[in-house]
């Protein structure tokens, strides 16, 4: 089973309510919210007030992807604002065990996000404290980039690592996913599939979500 997590980064921010209504109608259960600080990544997006407003407007799970320095300072604030899932980049947090634990203690799912050029070996000690791992399949910062093909192998290896340790950790993948490559990432082991431009750029988000759900269904 996999689910589509539309990234609102590619939505029209003046019409967010319409955007979330349509992706929910298309079958999305998770809403991906990209939080960028202009330091960890070269872009600035949205933060806590928007998450608070989204919380009032949807029943979908809110998945906040923190692309910020010192995420430990803000992670619990995102849970308090209404996030159901909070991921923090391993490259940005020297105390990720503490941050993951604080997210869980606050009542949300804790995720480790990992950049394309960061080795899975960095997860070794932290994996057991995460509910999910977000594998970046583009360099974080912007929507609409091209999928990095080696991410597929990375997802496969991560899936194996999780299985070897008998963990229940879920794999999320983020960046450059579309109807062409979604089946491959699902087959590799990703269960939460983020899609921004593939959902919002065509002007029919509900249909796009349905299309991705359909294309990602791997028949065996
Ligand atoms: C990139 C963000 C992604 C982005 C995905 O830094 O983390 O969530 O919105 O957009 P697409 O699907 O267009 O690559
Ligand atoms: Zn993201």
Number of the ligand closest to the Cα of 115: 1
Sign (positive or negative) of CA dihedral 158, 164, 165, 166 = positive
Tokens of 75: 């992670």
Q: How far apart are CA 6 and CA 197, in angstroms?
A: 9
Query: What residues does 136 pair with on adjacent strands?
Result: 174
pLDDT per position as a tens digit, 25-75: 999 999 999 999 999 999 999 999 999 999 999 999 999 999 999 999 999
Per DSSP, helices labelled H in the chain are 16-25, 48-57, 75-81, 96-105, 151-164, 182-188, 197-200, 205-216
Using a CB cutoff of 5 Å, list residues around ligand 2, an ion.
34, 65, 174
- Cα 179 to averaged position of ligand 1 atoms, centre (Å): 15
Tokens 């399949």: give the residue. 137
What is the number of the ligand 1 atom nearest to the C-alpha of 137? 14
- Cα 30 to averaged position of ligand 2 atoms, centre (Å): 12
| pLDDT grade for 204, boundaries at 50, 70 and 90 | very high
Sign (positive or negative) of CA dihedral 109, 65, 27, 15 = positive
Model confidence pTM above 0.95: yes
Question: What integer pLDDT is reported at residue 49 of this predicted model?
Answer: 98
**Is residue 121 helix, strand or coil?**
helix
pLDDT per position as a tens digit, 167-200: 999 999 999 999 999 999 999 999 999 999 999 9
Q: Tell me the average pLDDT of the chain.
A: 97
pLDDT per position as a tens digit, 83-119: 999 999 999 999 999 999 999 999 999 999 999 999 9
CA-nearest residue, atom 7 of ligand 1: 140
Number of the ligand closest to the Cα of 176: 1
Q: How far apart are CA 151 and CA 162, in angstroms?
A: 16
Question: What integer pLDDT is reported at residue 158 of this predicted model?
Answer: 98
Which of 9, 40, 86, 111, when mutated, tests ligand 1's pocket best, judged by the most ligand atoms within 8 Å of its CB? 9
Residues 6+ apart with CB under 8 A from 112: 87, 88, 89, 90, 96, 100, 123, 126, 127, 130, 132, 133, 134
Say if residue 218's pLDDT is above 90. Answer: no
- Cα 200 to averaged position of ligand 2 atoms, centre (Å): 14
CA-nearest residue, atom 9 of ligand 1: 143
Catalytic residues: 34, 174
What is the number of the ligand 1 atom nearest to the C-alpha of 136? 7
Sign (positive or negative) of CA dihedral 200, 202, 203, 208 = negative
Say if residue 16's pLDDT is above 60. Answer: yes
What is the number of the ligand 1 atom nearest to the C-alpha of 199? 12
**Is residue 62 helix, strand or coil?**
strand
Ligand 1, CB cutoff 6 Å, lining residues: 7, 9-10, 32, 34, 65, 138, 140-145, 174-177, 194-198
Number of the ligand closest to the Cα of 141: 1
**Is residue 146 helix, strand or coil?**
coil
| pLDDT grade for 220, boundaries at 50, 70 and 90 | low
């Amino acid at each position: 089973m996999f689910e589509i997590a539309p990234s609102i980064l590619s939505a029209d921010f003046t019409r967010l309510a319409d955007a979330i209504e349509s992706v929910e109608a298309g079958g999305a259960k998770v809403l991906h919210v990209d939080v960028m600080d202009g330091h960890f990544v070269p872009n600035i997006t949205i933060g806590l007030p928007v998450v608070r407003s989204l919380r009032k407007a949807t029943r979908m799970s809110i998945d906040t992807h923190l692309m910020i320095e010192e995420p430990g300072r803000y992670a619990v604030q995102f849970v308090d604002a209404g996030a159901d899932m909070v991921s923090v980049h391993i490259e940005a947090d020297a105390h990720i065990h503490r941050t993951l634990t604080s997210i869980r203690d606050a009542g949300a799912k804790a995720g480790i996000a990992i950049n394309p050029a960061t080795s899975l070996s960095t997860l070794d000690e932290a994996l057991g404290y995460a509910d999910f791992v977000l594998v970046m399949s583009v360099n974080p910062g912007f929507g609409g980039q091209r999928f990095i093909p080696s991410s597929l192998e990375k997802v496969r290896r991560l899936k194996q690592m999780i299985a070897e340790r008998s963990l229940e950790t879920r794999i999320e993948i983020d960046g450059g996913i579309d109807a062409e490559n979604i089946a491959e990432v699902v087959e590799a082991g990703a269960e939460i599939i983020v899609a921004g431009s593939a959902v919002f750029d065509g002007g029919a988000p509900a249909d796009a979500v349905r299309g991705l759900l359909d294309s990602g269904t791997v028949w065996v």
